[in-house]
Amino acid sequence: MTTIATTHVGSMPRGPELTELLLARDAGKPYDPAAFDAAVADAVDRSVAFQRDCGVDIVSDGEMGKVGYSTYMIERLSGFGGHIDRKPAADLAEVPDLAKKLSAIMGSQEFVRASCIGPVRLVTLEPLHDDIRRFRAAMDAHGSGARGFMNAASPGLITAFQVNRHYPSHEAYLADLADAMREEYETIVAAGFDLQLDCPDLAMSRHTGYQDLSEDEFLKVATANVEALNAATANIPPERMRMHLCWGNYEGPHDHDIPLERVIDIVLSARPGTVLFEGANPRHEHEWTVWRDATIADDKVLAPGVIDTCSNYVEHPELIAQRLERFAGIVGADRVIASTDCGFGTFAGYGKIDPLVTAKKLKALREGADLAGSRL
């Protein structure tokens, strides 16, 4: 029997009380720092315990201290300001009534959508040190036998969400972002946790933040983004890093998604040793054959999403096992980790998965991984 480890993409549902605190803090409203810290610490503690109870081997802090995975850095870096509404995703723009329904079901994304309006520099890592302190305490209490990872925005992700209105070129913006984010990346690893770099800029942003570019222009941007990521992580061993590829954590048509085959070589040129990607999304599940036909370095680990995070269906363990067996057939069972398509709480107050269903899905993930392992 082979043991297949389980993990997830990082975020967990934050709950209404913590969501209110996070949104108030993000909007610059007055808040009690001690009360905020206590609320986040309690949420992280409960999140780690929850993940372990569900059988997850490689756990996170649930991103409880962040309003969202892609905008949190504006409190840590200089150069960002204002609020500008963005264009809707290209697929949702074609179905406006559905977009309204999804917003009503999943909640509005009320976080600040800042732009880059000045030089990007690191200002403070105090929020990161707080996140590390809280996560370590929770791992000491509940993480026996588990590995921990922490999420961080990749340089390219930041460019996709925080539009450049200052730098003369995309490359110049990336260069300063790589310098500014490097210490965050290295601090997470130095604290004893694995670093997860979130990289939807390599897929989702084709039909969102970069949708006005041609496909060739987008691929040049994606290549530059990976080059910046590699430069920013040059001092970190690949085996201590994982990266997440995503086409968007929402239940839309996704018929404007860029095919995996167009970006896979760019993805595989990134330094992180583990690649997490959507494998349950019905628009992309068939692309397991793209991984089969790709040239994958011997030190790369694949962490396919084998449960989705856009519906309250609970996948059958047999289906999960079959999905995992496909990838074990490509790189070997020892280089496969069972994961999720995306996060369960991408932004505070946003998401349609019931917390009780989250537990059911993660327990099914554990059962499916064990079933696959028993047959490999």
In a domain, 7, yes or no: no
Burial of 58 (0-12, 13-18, 19+ CB in 10 A): buried
Give the number of domains in the chain: 1
In a domain, 344, yes or no: yes
- With contact defined as beta carbons under 8 Å apart, do 226 and 270 qualify? yes
CATH code, domain with 331: 3.20.20.210
Instruction: Check residue 180 and give its pLDDT.
Output: 98
Q: What is the full per-residue pLDDT of the chain (376 aa) written as tens digits? A: 899 999 999 999 888 889 889 888 888 889 899 999 999 999 999 999 999 999 999 999 999 999 888 889 999 999 999 877 778 899 999 999 988 888 766 555 566 789 999 999 999 999 999 999 999 999 999 999 999 999 999 999 999 999 999 999 999 999 999 999 999 999 999 999 999 999 999 999 999 999 999 999 999 999 999 999 999 999 999 999 999 999 999 999 999 999 999 999 999 999 999 999 999 999 999 999 999 999 999 999 999 999 999 999 999 999 999 999 999 999 999 999 999 999 998 888 777 789 999 999 999 999 999 999 999 9
Give Cα separations from 218 to 120, 156, 221, 244, 375 (angstroms).
23, 12, 5, 18, 41
Instruction: Check residue 376 and give its pLDDT.
Output: 93
Q: In 3-state terms, what secondary structure has residue 247?
A: coil
In a domain, 168, yes or no: yes
In a domain, 250, yes or no: yes
Instruction: Check residue 340 and give its pLDDT.
Output: 98
Domain range for 243 is 16-375
Quote the CA–CA distance of 369 and 174 in Å, as a whole number.
Answer: 38
Instruction: Check residue 141 and give its pLDDT.
Output: 98
Tell me which residue of 209, 7, 257 sits closest to 113, measured CA to CA: 209
Instruction: Check residue 26 and give its pLDDT.
Output: 81
Tokens of 254: 């996704």
In a domain, 254, yes or no: yes
In a domain, 3, yes or no: no
In a domain, 173, yes or no: yes
In a domain, 258, yes or no: yes
